[in-house]
């Protein structure tokens, strides 16, 4: 596939359990420090490990705005603002429909929805507050960002579970590459740490138990000791532009989005399939015009479920062949948990930072590698002074959608 | 409770201040809702609060408030449209 236009990343922003700025995130990665804590709700007897951001963001907004803003929208607005500011931009009103916003979320206004259900079912209210619909709806975070920054082209919301922001970034990338828009803000947000979501996920039996010695070590991808995934909250965004636009305005370029692949399993609502995953990886490589051994780092989806990690390891071997033995692999979910719809974008940013800082992040808690997940793992300690030119970030979503994004050093 | 325009105006000001954090000094009788950053959903919320406080039914669909409505005009319109206590 021939790229019509180069797409470059000129802005990055993050609000996450492992840092509420890009600098903060980098520090967590360099020290391989966990953002996983114990979480509990008065509705549930079980205590959960969860990657939470231990602060409120309400003070960042006017009180009159807050009834509209679920926590998911709040962190989305703040992370998008960081990315836009990082790109040296603010309003896009002069771009008209040539600026787009591509957002991904699996659940969006969960806490607001839970609150309305409390009012309906426990307090027996017949009518919701007038803000309820607007704080619950899935596209609310995207709409708030577009209103604040006057993004007047496509404002799209993707929801494909754990690949939501991967699809959003892929959509924006293709729109720039093919000439429909010149600049795109893309990312995702999730604030699912609520009793209704954790209780529902507990029903799948896929949630990790709290590590008895250190709650921060509760998510152990690829390990024989893995017990399941750890839910996380957070938001992350990137600004993408056509190269000519970025160079014309003298923007700092963090990296080039070199390839995107999306493919689906067509198999099972809750179980992944190796071939669908491998297809997405191969499509991304083909889109980038790269051979497998040109990838310098693979940021895995690996959520630390028994079945999922092993299937991904097989899929990577299928797509990468012999190169799979040489490419450093880690799952940074071991420190930031699973941000569901915001996972892909956070992990793409991490992959970009790994190129910029010549540092391969590690998988925390990986002392005892499951032979079924055998790859070139980076356990516990990041590789420093490790120059790479490109990285792949892979995501796999419940329902069977798989995305792979390749970021490359801009030469 | 007193259901005169004056009393309703006082209650509206109180709701805008306590629920939405609008500075009390800004909420004059002649301030428009738009100037205060209050949109139609906030107005609906105020109405629902007033219904509870005054123990009345406010027929929202009949109010037909203009976009530049002032705090005083909202109070007067509500006073005119109050229907029998619930």
Kindly tell me if the per-residue pLDDT of A2 is higher than 60.
no
What's the rounded Cα separation, in Å, for the pair A257 and A406? 6
A200 and A269 inside one domain:
no
Q: In angstroms, how far apart are the furthest CA atoms of chain B?
A: 33
Residues A129 and A150 in one domain: yes
Domain boundary among A213, A248, A283: A248
Same domain, residue pair A224 and A270: no
Specify whether A237 is located in the same domain as A380: no
Q: Are residues A324 and A175 in the same domain?
A: no
pLDDT on residue B85? 60
pLDDT digits 0-9 by tens, A222-240:
999 999 999 999 999 999 9
**Alpha-carbon distance A64 to nearest alpha carbon in chain B (angstroms):** 5
Interface test with A, best of B42, B60, B61 (most A CBs within 10 A): B42
Helix, coil or strand: residue A4: coil
Assigned domain for A344 exists: yes
Question: Does residue A1 form part of some domain?
Answer: no
Q: What is the mean pLDDT of residues A333-338?
A: 98
- Of residues A36, A369, A396, the one with CA closest to residue A217: A36
Sign of CA dihedral A395, A398, A400, A401: negative
Task: Residue A291: give the domain boundaries.
Answer: 259-408
Mean pLDDT of A386-405: 97
Residue A136: closest CA among A79, A70, A209: A70
Lowest-pLDDT range, A109-123, A372-386, B54-68? B54-68
> Is A124 part of a structural domain of the chain?
yes
Does A63 contact B21 at a Cβ distance shorter than 8 Å? yes
- Let me know whether A222 and A293 are in one domain: no
What CA–CA distance (Å, rounded) separates A263 from A280? 5
Half-sphere exposure of A64 (CA within 13 A, CB side): 18
What 3-state DSSP class applies to A158? strand
Assigned token pair, B84: 């029998």
pLDDT at A359 over 70: yes
Residue B59 confidence class, pLDDT cut points 50, 70, 90: confident
Shared domain for A375 and A325, answered yes or no, is yes
* Count of domains observed in chain A: 2
Distance CA A205, CA A229 (A): 10
Is a pLDDT exceeding 80 seen at residue A32?
yes
User: So what's the pLDDT on residue A239?
Assistant: 98
Please give the ipTM for the structure prediction: 0.89
Most A CBs within 10 A among B21, B33, B52, hence the mutation to make, goes to B21
Residue A189 φ/ψ, nearest 5 degrees? -150, 150
Q: A234 and A294 share a domain?
A: no
pLDDT digits (tens, 9 = 90+) for A11-23: 999 999 999 999 9
d(CA B31, CA A396): 53
Same domain, A183 and A305: no
User: Do residues A166 and A395 lie in contact, with contact meaning Cβ atoms separated by under 8 Å?
Assistant: yes
Residue A349 resides in a domain: yes
The label of the residue with tokens 């083909």 reads: A286
pLDDT tens profile A41-82 = 999 999 999 999 999 999 999 999 999 999 999 999 999 999
* CA–CA dist A347, A407 (Å, integer): 11
Q: Are the Cβ atoms of A64 and B42 closer than 8 angstroms? A: yes
What band does A275 get if pLDDT is binned at 50, 70 and 90? very high
Q: Cβ(A319)–Cβ(A367) under 8 Å? A: no
**Which chain B residues have any C-beta within 8 angstroms of a chain A C-beta?**
20-22, 37-38, 41-42, 44-45, 48
Q: Is residue A254 part of a domain?
A: no
Residue A180: count of CB within 10 angstroms of its CB? 15
Catalogue the E-assigned strands of A2-85: 7-15, 36-39, 48-51
B44 interaction partners in chain A (CB closer than 8 Å): 130
More confident residue, B67 or A106: A106
User: Does some domain include residue A331?
Assistant: yes
Domain spanning B5-81: CATH 1.10.1200.10: yes
Query: Percentage of residues in chain A with pLDDT exceeding 90?
Result: 99
- Sorting pLDDT into bands at 50, 70 and 90, what band is B65? confident
* pLDDT greater than 80 at residue A399: yes
Helix (H, G, I), strand (E, B) or coil at A279: helix
Q: How far apart are CA A338 and CA A133, in angstroms?
A: 26
Helix A22-31 vs helix A343-356: crossing angle, to nearest 10: 80
Q: Which domain-ending residue is among A205, A222, A248? A: A248
Tell me the nearest-neighbour CA distance from B37 into chain A, angstroms.
Answer: 8
Predicted confidence at residue A1, as pLDDT, reads 44
pLDDT for B62 beyond 80? no
Question: What does the block give as tokens for A25?
Answer: 């995130």
Shared domain for A205 and A96, answered yes or no, is: yes
Which of A64, A68, A131, A147 should one mutate to test binding to chain B, selecting the residue with the greatest count of B CBs within 10 A? A64
Tokens standing for residue A291: 């051979």
The Cα–Cα gap between A322 and B50 comes to: 71
**Is the pLDDT at A182 greater than 90, yes or no?**
yes
**What mean pLDDT is predicted for residues A337-348?**
98
Residue A349: which H helix or E strand, with range? helix A343-356
Q: What is the pLDDT of residue A11?
A: 98
Rounded to 5°, the CA angle A106-A35-A10 comes to 65
Among B20, B21, B41, the residue with its CB nearest the CB of A130 is: B41
For residues A396 and A398, give the distance between their C-alpha atoms in angstroms, rounded to a whole number: 7
pLDDT at B29: 95
Q: Which stretches of A7-85 are assigned E, i.e. beta strand? A: 7-15, 36-39, 48-51
pLDDT bucket at A113, cuts 50 / 70 / 90: very high
Mean pLDDT, residues A289-311: 98
Contact A301, A309 (CB under 8 A): no
Distance CA A253, CA A246 (A): 8
Q: Which of A306, A305, A307, A329 is nearest to A317 (CA)?
A: A329
pLDDT at A270 over 50: yes
Is there a single domain that holds both residue A193 and residue A328? Answer: no
Residue A373 near residue A55, CB atoms below 8 Å: no
Nearest CA to CA, how far is B57 from chain A (Å)? 14
Domain ranges of chain B: 5-81
Of A128, A99, A103, A100, which is closest to residue A116 (Cα–Cα)? A128
Contact A129 B42 (CB under 8 A): no
CA distance B40 to A395: 41
| Residue B54 confidence class, pLDDT cut points 50, 70, 90 | confident
- Model confidence at B84, in pLDDT bands (50, 70, 90)? low
Please indicate, yes or no, whether residues A84 and A215 belong to a single structural domain of this protein: yes
Buried b (16+ CB within 10 A) or exposed e, A365-392: bbeeebeebebebbbeebbeeeebbbbb
A131 within a domain of the structure (yes/no) = yes
| CATH number reported for the structural domain that contains residue A55 in this entry | 3.40.47.10
Within-domain flag for A123:
yes
What number is the average pLDDT over the span A160-185? 98
């Amino acid at each position: 596939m021939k790229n019509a236009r180069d797409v470059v990343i000129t802005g990055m922003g993050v609000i996450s359990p492992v840092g509420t700025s890009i600098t903060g995130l980098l520090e967590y990665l360099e020290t391989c420090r966990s953002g996983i804590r114990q979480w509990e709700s008065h509705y549930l007897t079980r205590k959960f490990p969860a990657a939470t951001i231990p602060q409120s963001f309400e003070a960042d907004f006017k009180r009159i705005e807050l009834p509209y803003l679920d926590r998911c929208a709040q962190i989305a607005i703040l992370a998008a603002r960081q990315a836009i500011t990082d790109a040296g931009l603010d309003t896009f009103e002069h771009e008209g429909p040539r600026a787009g916003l591509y957002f991904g979320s699996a659940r969006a206004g969960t806490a607001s929805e839970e609150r309305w259900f409390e009012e309906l079912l426990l307090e027996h209210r017949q009518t919701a507050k007038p803000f309820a619909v607007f704080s619950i709806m899935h596209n609310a975070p995207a709409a708030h960002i577009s209103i604040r920054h006057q993004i007047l082209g496509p404002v799209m919301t993707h929801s494909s579970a754990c690949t939501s922001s991967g699809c959003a970034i892929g959509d924006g990338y293709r729109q720039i590459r093919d000439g429909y828009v010149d600049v795109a803000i893309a990312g995702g947000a999730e604030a699912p740490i609520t009793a209704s979501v954790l209780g529902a996920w507990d029903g799948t039996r896929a949630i990790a138990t709290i590590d008895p010695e250190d709650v921060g070590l509760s998510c152990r991808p690829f390990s024989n000791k893995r017990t399941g995934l750890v839910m996380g909250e957070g938001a992350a965004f990137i600004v993408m532009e056509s190269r000519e636009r970025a160079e014309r305005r003298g923007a700092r370029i963090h990296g080039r989005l070199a390839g995107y692949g999306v493919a689906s399993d067509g198999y099972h609502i809750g179980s992944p399939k190796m071939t669908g995953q491998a297809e997405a990886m191969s499509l991304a490589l083909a889109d980038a015009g790269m051979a497998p051994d040109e990838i310098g780092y693979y940021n895995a989806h690996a959520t630390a479920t028994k079945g999922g990690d092993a299937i991904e390891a097989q899929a990577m071997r299928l797509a990468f062949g012999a190169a799979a033995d040489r490419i450093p692999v880690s799952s940074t979910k071991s420190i930031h948990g699973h941000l569901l719809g915001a996972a892909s974008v956070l992990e793409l940013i991490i992959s970009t930072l790994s190129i910029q800082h010549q540092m391969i992040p590690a998988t925390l808690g990986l002392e005892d590698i499951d032979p079924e997940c055998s790859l070139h793992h980076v356990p516990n300690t990041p590789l420093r002074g490790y120059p790479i030119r490109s990285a792949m970030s892979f995501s796999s979503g419940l329902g069977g959608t798989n995305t792979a994004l390749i970021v490359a050093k801009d030469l | 409770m007193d259901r005169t325009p004056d009393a309703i105006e006082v209650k509206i000001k109180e709701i805008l201040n306590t629920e939405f954090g609008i500075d009390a000094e800004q909420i004059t009788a002649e301030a428009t809702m738009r100037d205060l950053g209050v949109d139609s959903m906030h107005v609906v919320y105020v109405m629902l609060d007033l219904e509870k406080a005054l123990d009345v039914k406010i027929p929202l669909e009949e109010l037909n408030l203009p976009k530049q409505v002032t705090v005083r005009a909202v109070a007067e319109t509500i006073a005119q449209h109050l229907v029998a206590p619930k």
